Amino acid sequence: MKFIDLRSDTVTEPTPAMREAMARAEVGDDVYGEDPTVNRLQAMAADLMGKEAALFVPSGTMGNLASILAHCQRGDEVIVGDKAHTFLYEAGGISALGGIHSCQLPNQPDGTIALEQLQAAIRPKDIHQPPTRLIALENTHNRCGGVVLSAEYCRQVSEFAKERGILTHLDGARIFNAAIALGISAKELAEPFDSVTFCLSKALCAPVGSLICGSQAFIERVRRVRKQLGGGMRQAGVLAAAGIVALESMIERLAEDHARAKRLAQKLQGAPGLVIEPGSPATNMIFAQLESGSPVTTQKVCEALRERGVLVGAIEPHRFRIVVHYWIDDQAVETTANAFWEVLKELN
């Protein structure tokens, strides 16, 4: 059975144009810095983010990890949100591999961390305490509902950090979704940060890869960390070629995913026992919950949907994540909505 897979936008397979570009890619040894296609992708990424340089890495997780390791020494502290991907879903890499201490502050429902909370968390100069070296934000914010941080908020945090000699990193895995939703450039959203990672292998459909962007000096340090982590790739131009197609042709169309996500949420509105979270979808993710006290579990609903050829994420006992992407067309929206209604009627 061919599934309608809404578990994540990471499930997106490369487009025919990407496969074609991969087959034709000019390559070289990228550890020597000699892969022309990787070099081209990196130059495009740096330009899109308004930074001096960029580095191609195998995943978003490695992008965040290598960035944080390059900013911090062992024993330094990074401030992260308590719902940040870096904190929840990266296997504790920064502490396991980098000896970096994390201070987790509450993410508000809009994905921000309150400035007063940041203020209170900054460590005084004191040998008993780990120095606050870095603040990391996420845009769009996945676990908070695919919500968008405004450029204004990012600037405020960056100014706050600069005044205190603290660095800033953005996990911009889905920065283009944020930019499209706000109607501004990704460059504007990236500008306040010392470093930004973004992913090619989510809604942009490329099969593999993320980019780290920042100053020339920072990227030189990150290149060394990437090697330490075993992420130095050789003829990676085969992968980068798909990334170039992604950057050239897959950004503007993200608006279609956002519109389809809205349409699907409207169709799900009123389905028995299902509550769409307020404001959802902000971008390409719908977050919905089963009514409190419901005897039905997301697990059960997901199993019944799977039998009807639809896959969605059960991310908490009563909470679903439904992610719209390039391979979800109008028909898939229709089929998914119908499957949900049928299953919920049956189980409730």
82 binds ligand TLP (CB under 6 A): no
Stretch that binds ligand TLP, among 55-63, 100-108, 234-242, 326-334 (CB under 6 A): 55-63
Which x/- pattern over 207-246 shows residues binding ligand TLP (rule: CB under 6 A)?
---x------------------------------------
CA 71/CA 268 separation, integer angstroms: 44
Stretch that binds ligand TLP, among 58-66, 129-137, 246-254, 302-310 (CB under 6 A): 58-66
61 binds ligand TLP (CB under 6 A): yes
The pairing of beta strand 132-138 with beta strand 77-81: parallel
- Give whichever of 33 and 317 is closer to ligand TLP, judged by the CB atom: 317
142 binds ligand TLP (CB under 6 A): yes
Q: Out of 6, 135, 173, 324, point to the residue binding ligand TLP (CB under 6 A).
A: 173
Residues 83-102 that bind ligand TLP (CB under 6 A): 85, 89
Reference 179, options 85, 274, 48, 56; nearest CA is: 48
Q: Out of 3, 10, 31, 259, point to the residue binding ligand TLP (CB under 6 A).
A: 10
Residue nearest to ligand TLP according to CB distances in the complex: 60
Stretch that binds ligand TLP, among 53-61, 120-128, 228-236, 259-267 (CB under 6 A): 53-61
CA 332/CA 347 separation, integer angstroms: 22
For ligand TLP, the binding residues (CB under 6 A) are: 8, 10, 59-61, 85, 89, 138, 142, 171, 173, 199, 201, 210
